[in-house]
Structure 1
Amino acid sequence: MAWMEWSSLGTPLLIFGNEEMMPSMASQEVQCSMTQQEEVKNGKPNHLQETTGTFEIRIPDTDQKTRLCIDMTTSSKGGWRTMPFIFANEICEKLGAIGSGANMIMYLTQVLHMDYVQAANMLTNFGGTSSLTPLLGAFLADAYVGRFWTIAVASVIFFLGTVLLTLSATIPSLEPTPCSKLCPSPSQKELAVVIVGILLTAIGSGGIRPCVAAFGADQLLDASDSSTKNREGKTEQHDLKHPMALSTWSFFNCYFFVTGVSSLLAVTVVVYIQDNVGWGFGFGIPAALMFLSVVSFLLGMPLYFKEVPMGSPFTRLAHVLMAAFKKRRLLTTDYVGPLYELSDKESLACQQTRLMHTEQFSFLDRAAVRTPKDKTENGSLNPWQLCTVTEVEEMKILIRMAPIWASGIILITASVQQHTFSVLQARTLDRHIVSGSSFQIPPASMTVFSNITMLVIVSLYDRVLMPFAARVTGHARGMTCLQRMGVGFVVSMATTGVAAIVEVKRKKVARAAGVLDMGSLPMSVYYLVPQYCLNGMAEAFMQVGHLEFFYEQAPESMRSTAMALFWTSISAGNYLSSFLVSLIHRYTAWLPPNLNRGHLEYFYSTLTFLQVANFLIYCVSARWYKYKKFAAQETQKVEQES
């Protein structure tokens, strides 16, 4: 193993075993890394160099070591040419995941004969679990194995889950006995195979979801790059609050467009096969697509830029909290001088972008105050006693992001109803495409209108909406992430409001036709289209803005974790939905097995009220939020002012 230290004169020494290389030779190695950093400043991403050597850096006055990948060749890595492999993986994964899950409530209720409320809660609980497991996947990606291998292994696990679901629908001994009226509950064996299959897909999603978006964005941009070229080829500076290149913002729109197309195919083609051909084929196709997903992703291996894991981000956060707690009694008059931070040379060697100090949450600044007790017995700095300003600011960033994260929970709670109760509503309506047609729209395929709306808005955002909004707001991207999310909140409130009105209309038709206890109503399923379209519009603004926000504002070493935070808000929204449904079902008669005899409109109205309160809290949080600042940005700002 080789490592690098600085001598007392500040000269870098590259050491192999007990032999020291000549300072001049070591300087050449460090100069290679510095040259890459200069290329970043000049607009060339540093991952366009192929890494051929890995060294350890020992930070002066500490016992910490950081790996450094020194680029020795000029073979390019990353770029848009990697997107076909990444997007092919994402398309197959989404077809597998959504194709298996979109119509699952029909499989549980019609094939396994489960109760509606039990099936709805089971699916939202598993939806919550599949959005909670990304925390584990993100931790492994950021700390140990990197995003590439996390995605690869998780895809295999997901594939095994879809295989189990296929077996449950094709092996006779795992299928329940057909019945007409009074149907027995599924046996433990039948239910176990389905639950394990869904659980494996949830675990697989935990590795895929937090890493794919960040891995794709990594191929296009180094976060320290502060300039890009516009369509005319002229170099333009980014907003100091938003240092990411416009190509990365385009990537997020492309990412959601790809997922939208995948969802569209899943809720139309795959769901149609499940309803009209059979569940064996309906689950088998997603399994085959997941196999193709793994193959596609691995084919692009030679082209990917693979970021080196930087250690557990949670350990660094624990360092800050512990150091600040130990120095909680320290007064500002007890210390003089600047807060502790790595020098330019040390920060460069660690490939870490320094963050500027902010005044918010000043009680955490004590963690960066030097005291005589900061060193261990061997003279090195104790990370549990002293932290850098950048580490302290990373902790502050997460605290500032918490209210924005929490605000997305209620929106998800409202959105998931389009996959549960809205599907059950559609099942009671006339689903013929046109009057007299023999073809009926599968209930779960109604989400196609949500997907189409999202695709249209996402595809038009860069070319139409963003230029128009930029002329109005003066912002380079038209709207900030927080403003884009705010639009999504407003549209989501309209979604549940419209859903409540349509439900009142649906029950009025049922009473007028005297079919309260019968299957189909003389009312077109197209009455549900407005609420589905509004839901797609809300997702196009809120979900894309939320994802952009987490990637942009999160510390560089925690981007997978930040993507996991995005998915954990979805998890919390699913769990909150289960809690609300169970609570309402227990204490009211709003949600009986026969929706015609219930008050689903009251449930939708409750969600609307909760969203209004949530939006008001979000407005306060967004107003209070402070964007992170890089040290390089402050230098750029001073140069611009001068």
Structure 2
Amino acid sequence: MESSLEEERRQSLLVRATEPEDLAEYTGDGSVDFRGSPILKRNTGNWRACSLILGTEVCERLAYYGISKSLVTYLSTRLHEGNVSAARNFTTWQGTCYLTPLIGATLADSYWGKYRTIAVFSTIYFLGMAALTLSASVPSFMPPQCVGSVCPQPTLPQYLIYFVGLYMIALGAGGIKPCVSSFGADQFDDTDPVEKTKKGAFFNWFYFCINIGSLISGTVLIWVQENYGYGIGFGIPTFFIALAIGSFFLGSEIYRFQIPGGSPLTRACQVVVSATRKRKVDLPVDGSLLYELDGKSSAIEGSRKLEHSSEFSFLDKAAVILWNERDGYHDPWRLCTVTQVEELKILLRMFPIWATGIVFFTVCAQNSSMFIEQARRFTGKERGFSELQRMGIGLFVSTIAVAVAALVEIKRLQVARAEGMVHQKVPVPMSILWQAPQYLLVGVGEVFTSIGQAEFFYNQSPDAMRSLCSAFALVTVSLGSYLSSFILTLVSYFTTRNGQLGWIPDNLNEGHLDRFFWLITGLSSLNLLVFLYYAQQYKCKRASVA
């Protein structure tokens, strides 16, 4: 009842603006203000609102990377885990961080909206950071130090406070991540050509802010953790996530809000059920005879209409109007609008493109796991390309990166053998700069792929599913991390049978980490070929302007 009254109030306000010049002052993408009223362009959104959102992203990423970049080292040196165990725990946690976006995105698109979702999950994030800080600051919660070669295992409470805090961060970060990028993009009106151009620039700035947070955490915070301890090293990111929450709330009055459109998963199920029920019904030759609401408004709140496409024609049967459905109430499990059908078609078209991101992020997962293990053996410490073209370049460059990592490992093992260090768990006399090309190439690949992904999944998604589609993009990071853990487990199992040391023993000088990198190179090459095939077949979304 309350929502219908709210809708009537918004419509009455729009009716008052009868002149074209009055209508032009309002956003045309269905966005509203903090109180749910139609929103004026001149007072809201644009870079003024985005500056606060981007500032929030810098602080949040600084906090996230302040934990993630030192996690493998912390697990190895403080919790006394082996190489494979530390790498597997890291990739499992990282995978969880990028799987939980599905929770945040579903809540944002279906019920809460992006603003409220960010607020709730930011609080969970802060509590997780506080727990980690306590685990590294309070003596009774701190894991025991090694005494000579003896390294006592942490107690159960010490494990619990650390890992509970760690996975609260995973839940908080996941809830925030798909909403911040799409909420920032919502500050630009798709129906305004000038603002639509600015939206493309937003994704570049958004990724720039991610890397600023990563740069500061990877230099300043890591230095603080190594020189002043993890208590201060975790306390600083905790302060910054609190700062991010405060920064975000400052812009409440100038943000533009998209109305939640209900559960997209329910709508997708309705299309499948309805199409299955009408599987024996013939499709009309003229697509305009399929069911759709009259006028400009869509049946899905907060969404523009989508034009009919010829792909996956079986699903069109969900929009066929039977003789007993021509008047009165329509059961959504029996009759769906063309826009609702097209939502599901978009998801199906995007799926192959989405799936190719998994292996890419398996490569990226090595940045903070096996690349670090390899490094400790060295030292003891508008748009030129389309979204799909950017992603393709990123996939290609990342394939080269992991091949370079394999070549560097071959060189490192050669030096270890030449110096008689094969059976010694000591750093080899090689400069860490040998790793610079692989890190540079992964970084370049991630810039192209991540920005391309962010734009692709936002621009191609239905209006009422933007958080969810952004979450799907992030889930590739999760599945890439899980795939990395799975591959590590398989490699460890098959290469350690019959008493063998395996490819990745605790002493890497006795192993064959290069073979692991060549395996990832082969998977990445195959993945690139699959991407190229489906990218050529992809047809872009067409939103109705009528």
Q: CA deviation at 1:33?
A: 7.4
Q: How is 1:417-428 mapped onto 2 (pairs within 5 angstroms)? A: 417-428=366-377
Indicate how the Cα distance of structure 1 residues 164 and 560 shifts in structure 2: closer, same or farther if over 3 A, else same. Answer: same
Please tell me whether residue 31 in structure 1 is matched to residue 15 in structure 2. yes
Amino acid at match of 2:367: Q
Q: CA deviation at 1:333?
A: 6.9
> Equivalent of 1:599, from 512, 515, 537?
512
Indicate how the Cα distance of structure 1 residues 35 and 131 shifts in structure 2: closer, same or farther if over 3 A, else same. Answer: farther
> Equivalent of 1:620, from 529, 533, 537?
533
> Equivalent of 1:501, from 401, 407, 428?
407
> Equivalent of 2:274, from 287, 308, 323?
323
> Equivalent of 2:359, from 410, 413, 416?
410
Amino acid at match of 1:395: L
Q: CA deviation at 1:3?
A: 7.8
Q: Report the Cα distance in structure 1 between the residues aligned to 2:287 and 2:300, rounded to whole angstroms.
A: 28
Amino acid at match of 1:399: L
RMSD: 2.7
8 Å Cα contact 2:129-2:234 kept in structure 1? yes
> Equivalent of 1:294, from 236, 242, 245?
245
The match for 1:279 is: 230
Indicate how the Cα distance of structure 1 residues 255 and 36 shifts in structure 2: closer, same or farther if over 3 A, else same. Answer: farther
Q: Report the Cα distance in structure 1 between the residues aligned to 2:300 and 2:72, rounded to whole angstroms.
A: 53
SS where residue 303 of structure 1 aligns? coil
Q: Report the Cα distance in structure 1 between the residues aligned to 2:287 and 2:444, rounded to whole angstroms.
A: 54
The match for 2:27 is: 45
Q: CA deviation at 1:177?
A: 2.5
The match for 1:539 is: 446
8 Å Cα contact 1:114-1:186 kept in structure 2? no
The match for 1:369 is: 320
- Computing the radius of gyration from Cα coordinates, the structure with the larger value is 1
* Deviation readout 1:345-401 (Å, 9 max, x if unpaired): 54499553211111100000000100134479xx31111111111111111000000
* Deviation readout 1:46-69 (Å, 9 max, x if unpaired): 479964876xxxxxxxxxxxxxx4
Amino acid at match of 2:232: F
Indicate how the Cα distance of structure 1 residues 219 and 30 shifts in structure 2: closer, same or farther if over 3 A, else same. Answer: closer
8 Å Cα contact 1:128-1:575 kept in structure 2? yes
Q: Report the Cα distance in structure 2 between the residues aligned to 1:81 and 1:15, rounded to whole angstroms.
A: 30
Q: CA deviation at 1:625?
A: 0.8
8 Å Cα contact 2:302-2:464 kept in structure 1? no
Please tell me whether residue 192 in structure 1 is matched to residue 160 in structure 2. yes
Amino acid at match of 1:545: G
8 Å Cα contact 1:33-1:70 kept in structure 2? no
Please tell me whether residue 86 in structure 1 is matched to residue 68 in structure 2. no
Indicate how the Cα distance of structure 1 residues 533 and 70 shifts in structure 2: closer, same or farther if over 3 A, else same. Answer: closer
* Deviation readout 1:517-570 (Å, 9 max, x if unpaired): 142211100000000000010011111101110000000001110110111111
The match for 1:178 is: 145
SS where residue 289 of structure 2 aligns? coil
Indicate how the Cα distance of structure 1 residues 599 and 35 shifts in structure 2: closer, same or farther if over 3 A, else same. Answer: farther
Please tell me whether residue 215 in structure 1 is matched to residue 183 in structure 2. yes
Q: Report the Cα distance in structure 1 between the residues aligned to 2:18 and 2:493, rounded to whole angstroms.
A: 64
With normalisation by structure 1, the TM-score equals 0.79
Q: Report the Cα distance in structure 2 between the residues aligned to 1:287 and 1:569, rounded to whole angstroms.
A: 27
SS where residue 503 of structure 2 aligns? coil
The match for 2:263 is: 312
Please tell me whether residue 131 in structure 1 is matched to residue 80 in structure 2. no
8 Å Cα contact 2:284-2:290 kept in structure 1? no
8 Å Cα contact 1:98-1:266 kept in structure 2? yes
Give the gaps of 5 or more residues in structure 2.
496-501
Please tell me whether residue 511 in structure 1 is matched to residue 430 in structure 2. no
Please tell me whether residue 586 in structure 1 is matched to residue 493 in structure 2. yes
SS where residue 429 of structure 1 aligns? helix
Aligned residues: 537
8 Å Cα contact 1:341-1:390 kept in structure 2? yes
Q: Report the Cα distance in structure 2 between the residues aligned to 1:391 and 1:573, rounded to whole angstroms.
A: 30
Q: CA deviation at 1:31?
A: 2.5
Give the gaps of 5 or more residues in structure 1.
6-13, 17-25, 55-68, 230-244, 432-442, 444-465, 467-476, 636-642
Please tell me whether residue 393 in structure 1 is matched to residue 351 in structure 2. no
Indicate how the Cα distance of structure 1 residues 192 and 4 shifts in structure 2: closer, same or farther if over 3 A, else same. Answer: closer
Indicate how the Cα distance of structure 1 residues 4 and 181 shifts in structure 2: closer, same or farther if over 3 A, else same. Answer: closer
> Equivalent of 1:168, from 122, 135, 146?
135
SS where residue 507 of structure 1 aligns? helix
Q: Report the Cα distance in structure 2 between the residues aligned to 1:105 and 1:74, rounded to whole angstroms.
A: 47
The match for 2:332 is: 383
Q: Report the Cα distance in structure 2 between the residues aligned to 1:84 and 1:479, rounded to whole angstroms.
A: 25
8 Å Cα contact 2:33-2:256 kept in structure 1? no
8 Å Cα contact 2:100-2:175 kept in structure 1? yes
Q: CA deviation at 1:479?
A: 1.5
* Deviation readout 1:465-494 (Å, 9 max, x if unpaired): x6xxxxxxxxxx321111111111110110
Q: CA deviation at 1:300?
A: 1.6
Indicate how the Cα distance of structure 1 residues 311 and 4 shifts in structure 2: closer, same or farther if over 3 A, else same. Answer: closer
Q: Report the Cα distance in structure 2 between the residues aligned to 1:143 and 1:351, rounded to whole angstroms.
A: 11
SS where residue 332 of structure 1 aligns? coil
The match for 1:456 is: none
Q: CA deviation at 1:184?
A: 3.1
SS where residue 341 of structure 1 aligns? coil
Q: Report the Cα distance in structure 1 between the residues aligned to 2:2 and 2:119, rounded to whole angstroms.
A: 29
8 Å Cα contact 1:47-1:77 kept in structure 2? no
Q: CA deviation at 1:131?
A: 0.5
SS where residue 344 of structure 1 aligns? coil
SS where residue 194 of structure 2 aligns? strand
> Equivalent of 1:251, from 191, 202, 210?
202
* Deviation readout 1:248-303 (Å, 9 max, x if unpaired): 11100000111101100001110111111111111111111111111111112122
Q: CA deviation at 1:2?
A: 6.8
Q: Report the Cα distance in structure 1 between the residues aligned to 2:272 and 2:299, rounded to whole angstroms.
A: 25
Indicate how the Cα distance of structure 1 residues 36 and 529 shifts in structure 2: closer, same or farther if over 3 A, else same. Answer: farther
Amino acid at match of 1:600: L
Indicate how the Cα distance of structure 1 residues 415 and 337 shifts in structure 2: closer, same or farther if over 3 A, else same. Answer: closer
8 Å Cα contact 1:497-1:605 kept in structure 2? yes
* Deviation readout 1:169-218 (Å, 9 max, x if unpaired): 11111223322213233222211111101110001012110001111111
Q: Report the Cα distance in structure 2 between the residues aligned to 1:98 and 1:336, rounded to whole angstroms.
A: 50
Q: Report the Cα distance in structure 2 between the residues aligned to 1:345 and 1:573, rounded to whole angstroms.
A: 41
Q: Report the Cα distance in structure 1 between the residues aligned to 2:349 and 2:258, rounded to whole angstroms.
A: 26
Indicate how the Cα distance of structure 1 residues 35 and 380 shifts in structure 2: closer, same or farther if over 3 A, else same. Answer: farther
Identity %: 40
Which of the two has greater strand per residue?
Answer: 1
Amino acid at match of 1:543: S
Q: Report the Cα distance in structure 1 between the residues aligned to 2:353 and 2:32, rounded to whole angstroms.
A: 37
The match for 2:498 is: none
8 Å Cα contact 1:374-1:381 kept in structure 2? yes
> Equivalent of 2:469, from 562, 574, 582?
562
With normalisation by structure 2, the TM-score equals 0.92
Q: CA deviation at 1:612?
A: 0.9
Q: CA deviation at 1:334?
A: 11
8 Å Cα contact 2:101-2:178 kept in structure 1? yes
SS where residue 144 of structure 2 aligns? coil
Amino acid at match of 1:530: P
Q: Report the Cα distance in structure 1 between the residues aligned to 2:273 and 2:321, rounded to whole angstroms.
A: 15
Amino acid at match of 1:280: G
8 Å Cα contact 1:114-1:185 kept in structure 2? no
Amino acid at match of 2:126: F
Q: Report the Cα distance in structure 2 between the residues aligned to 1:3 and 1:593, rounded to whole angstroms.
A: 60
